[in-house]
Chain A
């Protein structure tokens, strides 16, 4: 085994509360500015991506991406959710969170790989220690927030199962259990929720498996115990409460694409120039701001263009939206 790291047990009394967490971030940010000269090359590019400062853009740039990322407060991230398995309104997922028991939980990995298998959630958490990633999050509904996730690169997990050369895509599935996910009792969507990524998207260092939020365990309404986070794509790509990963040769049909193919594509890259048929994607509402606050312009690939635009070189992004 490559890594045998056992995270120490943390009693809930020792978990950082949001205020302390914020103070800590402030100190880290100050230190980060002081140490800016040290970071160089590709490392700086990636570090910039994680902290939300797009590389190559000076401080004077007035674009939305150039400002330091101020995380959205915990109560908003956890009480304004699109998670139809726990209810179709924004507030229901938090209200119904108690239904979603996350133990026992296991992840099955199958398809085009050398070593398919099943991983228990606690073993998975031991094998892949979480790091913090502060990402912009942009919903297809034109609202946005900033989320301090805890998680690990999806590529670390995928490599363990040794995908073969026939593995061109990765398909993800959410748990199907109407008892634990009462929203599934009505066929609002074609359950279970399915999402997919191209192999190179899945292996990209920005693509994260999130297991925590603000240094705490991931709340049920945010997709506990493990979810995908693909920060340059609309939020619906970041599938929650995953139980199955499958390597496939063919492109998977994701749930929203099956629901409304003209509105939701497979790629779903954040793109201000490709409107949703029912609304413009040019600007986004930052959650938690006042009623007179201006929306901010949406950035191509949600501000991560420097990191991911080359994945789509030569592709017609209007066709492959």
Chain B
């Protein structure tokens, strides 16, 4: 069955941005400011994959297609994977492990603070993304994992506060985020959603 190939295919797809960045790094295409390019590239993909993760539920509601639910954890973990790379590039290459400056950034600069807050949330979600944690946390697991909505919003804000004047791209991310959140609202109010295209898993 081709369907069994979906998940590994998506796994490889999620690694493509990293492969491209590494290829461009080795070919010199990221010059003249490769650290900035890596920082922005990993940040972009954190946010994109987080929004893809948040698109699974609306997709299911609109189309009745439930299979992506099986990939949601992997997509979320890939978003975290790029967030870790983003954090490490920032810490080691951009801030050069100069702790006084890092501390200053983390306490004085709002765009860094919201980014770090989002990162901490993603860390907590990634750590508790296994079956054992789900069982242990019980009903609290779902409550904890609702923080993903806050993480995505903080991520968009982090980007918004970074740009100097042209907020077009952060606006696109914000619009996608708002759309994905709106699609979660009960509609019609109080009613259940019936999809005309309900399909089997």
Contacts and interface: CB of A to CB of B under 8 A. Distances in A.
Contacts of B199: none
Interface in B150-176: 161-162, 164-166
A282 B96 CA distance: 12
Nearest to B35: A291
Contacts of B93: 291-292
Nearest to B31: A288
B111 A285 contact: no
A188 B165 contact: yes
Contacts, number: 47
26 contacts: A72-B32, A76-B32, A79-B32, A80-B32, A80-B33, A84-B165, A88-B165, A90-B33, A145-B32, A188-B165, A189-B165, A277-B109, A278-B161, A278-B162, A280-B104, A282-B101, A283-B96, A285-B33, A287-B33, A288-B32, A290-B34, A291-B34, A291-B35, A291-B38, A292-B93, A295-B96
Contacts of B36: 143, 285
Nearest to A277: B109
B106 interface: no
B103 to A, nearest CB: 11
A93 to B, nearest CB: 13
Nearest to A263: B164
B96 A278 contact: no
Interface of A: 72, 76, 79-80, 84, 88, 90, 143, 145, 188-189, 259-260, 277-280, 282-283, 285, 287-288, 290-292, 294-295
A283 B36 CA distance: 14
Given A76-B32, A88-B166, A287-B32, 8 more contacts: A143-B33, A280-B105, A285-B33, A288-B31, A291-B25, A291-B35, A291-B38, A292-B93
Interface of B: 25, 31-36, 38, 93, 96, 101, 104-105, 109, 111, 161-162, 164-166
Nearest to A143: B33
- The list of the 10 closest CB pairs from A to B, nearest first, reads A88-B166, A76-B32, A287-B32, A288-B32, A291-B34, A188-B166, A188-B165, A80-B32, A291-B35, A280-B101
Nearest to A141: B164
A278 B38 CA distance: 19
B111 to A, nearest CB: 6
A72 to B, nearest CB: 7
Contacts of A287: 32-33
Contacts of B162: 278
Nearest to A287: B32
Contacts of B101: 280, 282
B129 to A, nearest CB: 30
A132 B112 CA distance: 41
A80 B33 CA distance: 9
Contacts of A283: 96
A179 to B, nearest CB: 20
Contacts of A277: 109
A88 B11 CA distance: 33
Of the candidates A79, A88, A145, A189, the one having the most CB atoms from chain B within 10 angstroms of its own CB is: A88
A267 B118 CA distance: 36
Of the candidates B32, B35, B93, the one having the most CB atoms from chain A within 10 angstroms of its own CB is: B32
Contacts of A80: 32-33
A285 B93 CA distance: 10
Nearest to A90: B33
Contacts of B34: 290-291
Contact of B96 (A72, A143, A294): A294
B25 A259 contact: no
Contact of B166 (A84, A143, A292, A295): A84
B111 A278 contact: yes
